[in-house]
Chain A
Amino acid sequence: DAKTTQPPSMDCAEGRAANLPCNHSTISGNEYVYWYRQIHSQGPQYIIHGLKNNETNEMASLIITEDRKSSTLILPHATLRDTAVYYCPHMTTDSWGKLQFGAGTQVVVTP
């Protein structure tokens, strides 16, 4: 059973913002929202995480809804190098260390 759900694919024009949604309706109150991406033929790369408040770093911004049932990862100015599969994995709290990756969203940035 999927703990997080994401759209399977998304296209974005270079230079435009990419807004990637994730539904995590079963998230517990103490579970963070994490985002990773995986560029083709590379290992996954951590992007950002948050608990309740919106977060921003040099890579992206994270918007978490007030009920915490969904979040949006924002790539403010997408580049061709942002083409990747983006994951919002579920983190289990019964056994520390378990990140469960769903199918993710394949983002293709086009010129």
Chain B
Amino acid sequence: DTEVTQTPKHLVMGMTNKKSLKCEQHMGHRAMYWYKQKAKKPPELMFVYSYEKLSINESVPSRFSPECPNSSLLNLHLHALQPEDSALYLCASSQPDDYEQYFGPGTRLTVT
């Protein structure tokens, strides 16, 4: 199984809502990532978890809160987002020390 799954596929939320994005992999990977991708732009790294510990936070605003409850799951908790946060949010996984990352299909987020 070389699949990274993300739920939901689409999410529309208001600026006062709290929602969560979920990512799951069963490849035994111990590194997981969140990326943000705006339309017609490349993916931008947000967070990296290695062995369930946050190892990189790319100065992401605190309204985005990542969580890695176990080695297979990665969540991104969203609160008080702004319309400019509307984007495709991609999850990826890999073995530590390996840049061969497996990406999920993404969650298309719209903030109204």
Contact = CB atoms under 8 A, between A and B. Distances in A.
A43 B103 contact: yes
Contacts of B101: 44, 46, 99
A10 to B, nearest CB: 16
Interface residues of A, number: 23
A98 B4 contact: no
A43 B104 contact: yes
Looking at chain B's contact residues, is the secondary structure mostly helix, strand, loop, or mixed?
strand
A82 to B, nearest CB: 18
Contacts of B44: 101
A29 interface: no
Interface residues of B, number: 24
Contacts of A43: 4, 90, 92, 103-106
Interface in A30-69: 32, 34, 38, 41-46, 49
B14 interface: no
Contacts of B43: 38, 44, 101
Interface of B: 4, 31, 33, 41-45, 48, 50, 55-56, 90, 92, 96-97, 99-106
